[in-house]
Amino acid sequence: MSLQLKLNWLASNFHLQLELELNNHWIGVYGQSGSGKTSLLKAIAGLLPAATAFCSLDGELWQHDCFQLALSKRKALYLAPDAVLMPHKTALQQLQLASHWSQSTVDLKQMIQDFELEPLLALYPSQLSSGQQQKLALAQALIAKPRLLLLDEALAHLDHQQKAAVLQKLKLYQQQQGFMLLWVSHQMEDLCLYCEEIIWLKHGQLQRQQQLSSPHSNQLFYAI
Amino acid sequence: MRGLKLIFACVLVSCHVSASQLIAAASDLRLVLPVLLQQYLAETGVSIEPVFASSGKLSQQIQHGAPFSLFLAADSLYTNNLLQQCSPKQHCQTGFYGQGQLVIWYHHRFQTAEQALKHSQHIAIADPNHAPYGKAALAYLQQHALWPELEAKIRRSDNAALVLHMLSTGQAEVGLIGHALMPEARLQQLLPQSQQQQLQLLQKLGRTEVVPAQFYPPIRHSWFYRPETKQPEIKDFLQWILAPQQQQFWTDAGFKVEHH
Amino acid sequence: MLYPAEWQALWLTIKLALFSSLLLLLLTAPLAWWLSRGQSAGRNAINALLTLPLVLPPTVLGFYLVLLLSPDSWFSQLLRLMGIEALAFRFEGLVLASMLYSLPFVVQPLQQGFGQIAQDLLNQSKAFGANNWQLVTQLIWPLSRPALFSAFILSFAHTLGEFGIVLMIGGNIPGQTQLLSMLIYDQVESLNYARAHLLSGLLLLFSFSVLFWLYQQQRGQQQQGQQQRSQK
């Protein structure tokens, strides 16, 4: 998979300028608060059209100048730190709707089992803890079979144990479905454990882009 | 929600209300005209519904397309005006059906009408801009010796009938209205109970005097007729009210009728 | 207890309130949606225009409507071309008038209700692949139902109490434009205080019970929602 991206955005107190080409499946995004990580993910998802000069996935044009591919055709799912859920639907209904909307063939029961969602199914989002909400949002996203999954601290509210279990399942689904995953996290050790490549942002600019499988991977640790 | 749907369904079903025969009439006929219409219904079986407002307002409405084919105005000014705007194709007609009289009502605590005008706090009249009895009342007051004093005491109401309302609720101690709003006892007996009570109350509270005709320009009650295919019975009704048999009614209602 | 003319006026009043409120909801919902999705000079201008009936006296609106609805106006001629009679002094004209008059009472609650639906949620649902129809039926409709409800209440109640504009354009014609408020005015003019008392009391009672009933319904919905959420 190959994602090409060019961002140029001048906000009042923030200047984002990036040119990227990403080819790996697990990509970690690292950087201090305010370095432009969220903007990067939102731009890829198509939520910041003003900031995006160019975006394409596997040669399919997503955005260039005035042209913008509709959100429903991209299948790029952005998961925010606070899970976005429908307040009037139970967990089960949310999963069903996601499956219905994306015309997915993913096995719902399997998904519920994998993410241990059974006890939550009859509950509304406001009855769930923030960690449970994140788990639900992730399961919902995986049902929709994304081509690109953009996690913006989307697992940060899970405890250590749960996170490990969820990540393991996520890895499994990634291998099955073959999507590309961009993962913003402040936990460097998580990123290093799962990612093949890490990009490091600073003040809205690309500081470093590093393959982890390469022999030079150690350099990154020193740099940080 | 189901109740709402039910109501809505009912509303749709009852969408078309049968149009009855409508006539427009000046406000001073508000009490007596229903009696006349009742008599007409009893004689002919035709039911006619009146819509009341001041003559000026009604003529405005007719100009703007209100569906009245007969208009009983209190001033020939308005009927002539409507006649002029009629195209020859429409075969509009006007005519005279009686001369209205202005009466003054004043509270018992005043001895005479003159005293009442002098010492009262408020004088109620209809709006002279569009109500003929208001115009006549203003003309009467203007030629009065005390006019500068009186002017400040005038309280205008929308039409002649509302003057009666102001008097009966004590908002004014003196009022000038059409005689037809204070009809003769013979006609009063035919009114609905509640109206009779109100009129009796007013008669107990004060006195009514007819204002001599030389003090105000004549109030020429005129009708305006515009034939409409939807309301064929109206023409018959017009002829009926103008017939000699109805003379007594108009006299009782306080009109001076010219004998043909 | 009531005379036929009074039943007719009562019925006409309810009919007018229902018709104009429902039509208004249908017609202004898309507009309110557009208004709720952001800020711009164009939106502000339209917002100001829609709020005008709230600040203008009914006489201003009534005056323009009289001109607009009269048989010789360009509007009536346009209608005639489409085979519709002039609307002056007819029920349809009153519906149009009360729709204009109740405009801010519908658009503002709708706009607020729609505004509370997060753009993030809409975007995410689109990204899942939901089409516009699915967005409306499964997301926007259930989430904005309370707003639609209160817009309807306000418009309905407002139309029940309408008088100024009806006085100017209605003509007080039984079965067409003689609303209960007009009939009461009429009865007062004819010194029929007993009937005026009865009708006024009736309108008072009726308005109160409708509002009470509607609010009860709304509260019921809210309680249901709270129960679902309170088990946290």
Contact B56, B210 (CB under 8 A): no
Mean pLDDT of A81-97: 92
Q: What percentage of chain C carries pLDDT values higher than 70?
A: 95
Domain count, chain C: 1
Sort out which chain B residues have CB atoms less than 8 A from C66's CB and list them. Answer: 64
Query: C22 — contact with chain B (CB < 8 Å)?
Result: yes
pTM: 0.80
Tell me the average pLDDT of chain B: 87
Question: Could you tell me which residues come within 8 angstroms of residue C46 by beta carbon, excluding any fewer than 6 positions away?
Answer: C31, C35
Helix (H) or strand (E) holding B154, with range, is strand B154-157
Helix (H) or strand (E) holding B125, with range, is strand B123-126
Distance (Å, whole) CA B110 – CA B105? 11
| Residue contact C71–B64, C-beta within 8 A | yes
| Residue contact C131–A123, C-beta within 8 A | no
Tell me the average pLDDT of chain C: 87
Instruction: Map out the domains of chain B as residue ranges.
Output: 2-99+218-252, 101-215
Residue C36 belongs to domain spanning: 4-231
Give the model's confidence band at B14: pLDDT under 50 very low, under 70 low, under 90 confident, else very high.
very low
pLDDT in the model for residue C228: 56
Distance (Å, whole) CA B95 – CA B238? 10
CATH architecture group of domain B101-215? 3-Layer(aba) Sandwich (3.40)
Give the model's confidence band at C215: pLDDT under 50 very low, under 70 low, under 90 confident, else very high.
confident
Here the CATH number for the domain that contains residue C197 is: 1.10.3720.10
Nearest chain A residue (CA) to C224 = A88
Distance (Å, whole) CA A25 – CA A170? 12
Residue among C19, C70, C188 whose CB faces B165 most closely: C188
B 40-59 residues with CB below 8 A of C?
49, 51-53
* Residue C1, pLDDT above cutoff 80: no
Q: Is B181 left (phi over 0), alpha (psi -120 to 50) or beta?
A: alpha
Sort out which chain A residues have CB atoms less than 8 A from C126's CB and list them. Answer: 70-72
pLDDT tens for A202-218 read 888 888 888 876 555 55
* Residue C199, pLDDT above cutoff 50: yes
Sort out which chain C residues have CB atoms less than 8 A from A125's CB and list them. Answer: none
* Residue A172, pLDDT above cutoff 70: yes
Question: 10 Å Cβ neighbour count for C200?
Answer: 15
Give the model's confidence band at A192: pLDDT under 50 very low, under 70 low, under 90 confident, else very high.
confident
pLDDT in the model for residue B259: 53
| Residue contact A123–C231, C-beta within 8 A | yes
Helix (H) or strand (E) holding B25, with range, is strand B21-26
pLDDT tens for B76-120 read 999 999 999 888 888 899 999 999 999 999 999 999 999 999 999
Sort out which chain C residues have CB atoms less than 8 A from A45's CB and list them. Answer: 123, 127
Amino acid (one-letter) located at A87: P
Query: C224 — contact with chain A (CB < 8 Å)?
Result: no
C interface test, pick of B27, B51, B70 with most C CB neighbours within 10 Å? B51
Local structure of C173: helix, strand or coil: coil
Nearest chain C residue (CA) to A47 = C123
pLDDT in the model for residue B67: 84
pLDDT in the model for residue B260: 46
The pair of three-digit structure tokens given for residue A34, joined into one six-digit string: 């305010």
Give the model's confidence band at B3: pLDDT under 50 very low, under 70 low, under 90 confident, else very high.
low
Mean pLDDT of B69-80: 93
Query: C8 — contact with chain B (CB < 8 Å)?
Result: yes
| Residue contact B198–C189, C-beta within 8 A | no
Q: What percentage of chain A carries pLDDT values higher than 70?
A: 95
Burial class (CB in 10 A: 0-12, 13-18, 19+), C99: buried
Length of chain B: 260
| Residue contact C127–A76, C-beta within 8 A | yes
Find chains touching chain C: ≥3 CB pairs under 8 Å.
A, B
Distance (Å, whole) CA B57 – CA B74? 12
pLDDT tens for C26-68 read 999 999 999 998 888 999 999 999 999 989 998 899 889 888 8
| Residue contact A70–C126, C-beta within 8 A | yes
Q: How many CA atoms lie within 13 A of B109 on its CB side?
A: 7
Amino acid (one-letter) located at B259: H
The pair of three-digit structure tokens given for residue A192, joined into one six-digit string: 């290093």
Amino acid (one-letter) located at C1: M
CA C5 to chain centre: 25
Burial class (CB in 10 A: 0-12, 13-18, 19+), A97: buried
pLDDT tens for A110-168 read 999 999 999 999 999 999 999 999 999 999 999 988 999 999 988 889 888 889 899 99
* Residue C2, pLDDT above cutoff 60: yes
| Residue contact A72–C232, C-beta within 8 A | no
Contact A136, A64 (CB under 8 A): no
Counting CB pairs under 8 A, whether chains C and B reach 3 or more, is yes
Sort out which chain A residues have CB atoms less than 8 A from C142's CB and list them. Answer: 88
* ipTM (interface pTM): 0.85
pLDDT in the model for residue B16: 43
pLDDT tens for B175-219 read 999 999 999 888 999 998 888 988 999 999 999 999 999 999 999
pLDDT in the model for residue B38: 92
Residue among A46, A101, A127 whose CB faces C229 most closely: A127
Q: What percentage of chain B carries pLDDT values higher than 70?
A: 91
C interface test, pick of B48, B64, B205 with most C CB neighbours within 10 Å? B64
Question: Could you tell me which residues come within 8 angstroms of residue B238 by beta carbon, excluding any fewer than 6 positions away?
Answer: B70, B223, B225
Name residue A211's beta-bridge partners: A197
| Residue contact C18–B7, C-beta within 8 A | yes
| Residue contact C228–A124, C-beta within 8 A | yes
Give the model's confidence band at C192: pLDDT under 50 very low, under 70 low, under 90 confident, else very high.
confident
Query: C6 — contact with chain B (CB < 8 Å)?
Result: no
B81 vs B15, which has greater pLDDT? B81
Contact C70, B64 (CB under 8 A): yes
pLDDT in the model for residue C25: 95
pLDDT in the model for residue B13: 46
Q: How distant is the Cα of A221 from the closest Cα of chain C, in angstroms?
A: 35
Tell me the average pLDDT of chain A: 87
| Residue contact A71–C118, C-beta within 8 A | no
Secondary-structure breakdown of chain A: helix, strand, coil percentages, each rounded to the nearest 5: 35, 30, 35
| Residue contact C173–B51, C-beta within 8 A | yes
Q: Which CATH class, in words, describes the domain spanning B2-99+218-252?
A: alpha beta
